[in-house]
Amino acid sequence: MSSHDNPRKPETNVNDQFVSRWSPRSFDANQSVEPSQLQSLFEAAKWAPSCFNEQPWRFFAAAKPSAKFEAFLQALVEKNQGWAKNSGALVFVACTQTFKRNDKPNAWAEFDTGAAWMSLALQAQSMGLHVHAMAGFDADKAKAVLGGDVDQLKLIAAVAVGKKSEPSVGEYASEAPNDRFSLAEFCKIYE
Amino acid sequence: MSSHDNPRKPETNVNDQFVSRWSPRSFDANQSVEPSQLQSLFEAAKWAPSCFNEQPWRFFAAAKPSAKFEAFLQALVEKNQGWAKNSGALVFVACTQTFKRNDKPNAWAEFDTGAAWMSLALQAQSMGLHVHAMAGFDADKAKAVLGGDVDQLKLIAAVAVGKKSEPSVGEYASEAPNDRFSLAEFCKIYE
């Protein structure tokens, strides 16, 4: 088995898109990501459900080559810069923190933004792209790059978007999709 | 156009699964949801990405008819009880709050659980089921029903799972998929 075959084994019937999606580090530095592709990713995210249809998710993207991509890259922790530099685009995922209707804190903003992020990831996969979300970024640096656009927002994650390199190539040649808990460990169906 | 045709118009190319998914209230009280179907929903959720592969999501489900379903139902706010009683199963979505590795707070637990929830919703759709998440539940009542299972967890949402009723039937006959902001309102692609 090559290192990019998928070792995951679902326990029961499930659509393959969930099992085959994973987050590689081995992006192909020669492949670009077009603005129109990024738009399709955000279009998928857009239709996620949210509390009161608040749509708290916000996305900021920069494709390579551009000064903004380099600035986004510099806002990542050094270890992530090492592989994310080979992606075709970087995205910062943020959320609003209060409801438009009453300015009260939105306790579901991050949960709902996670739903939008999952749609983005599955859309990417359907387009032959891979995405890899990172908690490892410097929020102050990211805010400096994004400026006034994120004044009222909470920055949650950075996402690398790109084409995966050939399995045998580079530092991450041995990486493979990671495993999960069994169903019994995270869900309970009462009798 | 019947009330359940989809009025949503995507702005750009996107996989239809995202545009056609929506959250009805009009469930068919005569349709049941099997435990094996719930397992497939959780199997989809299982493969979501998470920070450090922590998999912070937890799900608690009760299908109808059962005393546990009735107890879950009673934990919803009254307005939601009115329609959720016609669903075939109710699920509480929760998350862990600290990392297993070091007991420190996991700032991405809700975001990652939102990703798992989105996978669940899309899997449901692929099976001809609909799901509807609710913020409207009484956390104390839910905790009383779930007991020790949720001691260390944060309860985030309740979800009704079922078959949608015919469009012309019942109190919610006029409901239709809701709209979204345009791309320009929630994402920015830098030049």
Which ipTM was obtained for this model?
Answer: 0.96
Nearest in space to A112 (alpha carbons), one of A177, A153, A55: A55
Partner-chain residue, chosen from A114, A126, A190, that has the shortest CB–CB distance to B66: A190
For A1, residues 6+ apart whose C-beta sits below 8 A from its C-beta are: A7
For A103, residues 6+ apart whose C-beta sits below 8 A from its C-beta are: none
Size of interface A-B (CB pairs under 8 A): 213
Mutate to test the interface with A, among B9, B40, B46 (most CBs of A within 10 A): B46
Averaged pLDDT in 10-residue chunks for chain A of 191 residues: 69 98 95 97 98 98 97 98 97 97 97 98 98 97 93 96 85 89 97 83
Q: Which chain B residues contact residue A45 at CB under 8 A?
A: 187
8 A C-beta contact, residue B57 and residue B112 = yes
Q: Do B181 and A46 touch (CB under 8 A)?
A: yes
8 A C-beta contact, residue A120 and residue A41 = yes
Shortest CA distance from A187: residue in chain B: B59
Q: Would you state the pLDDT for residue A173?
A: 79
Q: Would you state the pLDDT for residue A101?
A: 94
Q: Would you state the pLDDT for residue A3?
A: 41
Q: Which chain B residues contact residue A145 at CB under 8 A?
A: none
Q: Do B58 and A186 touch (CB under 8 A)?
A: yes
Q: Do B15 and A58 touch (CB under 8 A)?
A: no
- Angle made by CA atoms A44, A46, A50, in degrees to the nearest 5: 125
Give CA–CA dist B186/B11, Å, rounded.
13
Tell me what percent of chain B is helix, strand and coil, each rounded to the nearest 5: 35, 20, 45
Is pLDDT above 70 for B109? yes
N-terminal to C-terminal alpha carbon distance within chain B: 41
What is the distance in angstroms between the Cα of A159 and the nearest Cα belonging to chain B?
A: 12
Helix (H, G, I), strand (E, B) or coil at B5: coil
What is the pairing mode between strands A154-162 and A130-134?
antiparallel
* Average pLDDT value over all residues in chain A: 94
Q: Do B66 and A191 touch (CB under 8 A)?
A: yes
Partner-chain residue, chosen from B44, B116, B181, that has the shortest CB–CB distance to A15: B44
pLDDT in tens, B91-100: 999 999 999 9
Q: Would you state the pLDDT for residue B171?
A: 79
**Domains along the sequence of chain B with CATH:** 30-164 (3.40.109.10)
Q: Which chain A residues contact residue B38 at CB under 8 A?
A: 189
Q: Which chain B residues contact residue A142 at CB under 8 A?
A: none
